[in-house]
Structure 1
Amino acid sequence: MQQILSTLRSFDGVLELAPREGGDYPPVAWGDHFFYWSPDGTVPRTQPFATLVTKDYPDDTSSDLDPEGRWRLNIHVGRRRLEGLGLGEPDDPTAPDVLQPHPLYSRQGWLCVILPGERTWPAVLPLLELARDDQRRRLGGTLDTARGNREDPMG
């Protein structure tokens, strides 16, 4: 998890929300991480481009995230890119280190990977960069091209 968090925190113009117990956010979000394109540090009025969830949510239990040490990275890649990946329905929605459509939000262009590892990391990193860049474009931002704008790993 630290590798993913460190990577996302290193992206230019990214805001991380990490709700903690006793804060302003609902208890269901405590311990999770939400990433937005926001170079000025204000929370944009849009969904994050990536989330890292550390537990099952009441309406989202198919990944079995409640056991200790399990977590899931969710990335908004867009419907067209998600379709282009050809992931299909997973044989085992609890399997670690497998790119798969998000169990609830695939129709909105989200994918996920439980416990990303060496099998999925080569795809995860560029997909995170593309998700950040897509949100930046939607929000009308700019980006130093020396650090971002990698080619789409899926074509």
Structure 2
Amino acid sequence: MGKLSGSQHGDAANALFAFYGEKADELEEAGQYFMAAVALAFGIEAALLAYLLVEFGEENGGELQIPDDINLSNLISAANDIDVLSVPIDTLSHTHDDGNKPKFLAKDVIDRIRKFRNLIHPAVALRQGYDPCAFTKENLSEYWEIYASVTHSLLYNI
């Protein structure tokens, strides 16, 4: 097992975050709503990892060394431990310049993304009776709102 650090992996984690957001846009345009939501879920995971890697440098207690096998549950726990997902939603969005406010308090909805993301495993989907064909554009819109709420919270804390 290796370790991830901001100095070695921060830029790559940011690039992954950007990649997944761009893929979600492309997939949505192609009508692939379920796969767009999967990309958003991976984007949230990359955003959490990038935040932890980049935000903790010399000025914040020293660079973190994060195991390279960390999972989304662990990232969510770490973000909650440092309270970066509790940014009030009565402030203007830090992700859009459209004058809107985030719809959700990130800490209240991020676990929904984790549970959804786990549905990419066929056994989990079958066990839960989940049919990805039933995923709609409206479902994706809600995931975009969650994505925006999480990224708002992380950007607010930078």
Into which bin does the TM-score normalised by the smaller protein fall?
A: under 0.3
Higher strand content, 1 or 2: 1
Higher helix content, 1 or 2: 2
Greater radius of gyration (CA): 2
